[in-house]
Structure formats: C-alpha cells, structure tokens
Amino acid sequence: MISIKNKVEPEKLEDWFVENKELVYLRSVETARQLVDNKDLKEEILFEFYWNDTIYSKIFMSRKDIKTAMEKALDYFIPLEMFEKAQEIKNITDLLE
C-alpha cells in the first residue's frame, strides 16, 4: 500500500500534486480497487496532508468519483505504456457496471 500521509507545506500543495502525478494516479487506482472490492465502503481516504504534526487536508474518493478518476488515470498510464495498470483500471471499471 502506498503511504497516504504526506508532509507538505499548505502553500506547496498544488505543486506537490503536479510533481507527484504518478503517485496520485497509483493511489487513485488503489483506492478505487478498495471501494469496488468492499461494497460497504461509501468513500475512502485518498490522501492526507499534514504540517507541524497536524492534518490540514484530507482528500476522499467516493464511489461516484471512481469512473472519472479511472479515466484520468488511464489517460496518464497509456502514453507511458504502463499497460498492466491500464488493465487493472479496466478491471475496476468493469466491476462498476
């Protein structure tokens, strides 16, 4: 499992997302998998960000977010020829239908 707690200064949060695209998309796939595998989960924490030992932001993925998140992840992984991830995304989206 990818660590979801990230120490990032609040004013640098946007930069962190730009600089860590692969981590963001990998975590999105992992979180989507958790949601489709456990029908009782309504949402799951995607990332937590903390500064000075205090969490200042939590980002969640809910079931309604999965389709859009997987489309964006697929758009990221295909040009990089990360076809195993693309297949995993297809498997997740198939479970949604």
pLDDT in tens, the chain (97 residues): 455 667 888 899 999 999 999 999 999 999 999 999 999 999 999 999 988 888 889 999 999 999 999 999 999 999 999 999 999 999 999 998 7
Q: Please give the structure tokens belonging to residue 25.
A: 């998309």
- Is residue 49 within 8 A of residue 8, CB to CB? The reply is yes
- Residue 1: the pLDDT is 44
Question: DSSP letter string over 7-37?
Answer: E--GGGHHHHHHHTHHHHHHHHHHHHHHHHH
Sequence-separated (6 or more) residues with CB below 8 Å from residue 33? 88, 92
Find where tokens 């120490």 sit. 7
- Residue 66: the pLDDT is 96
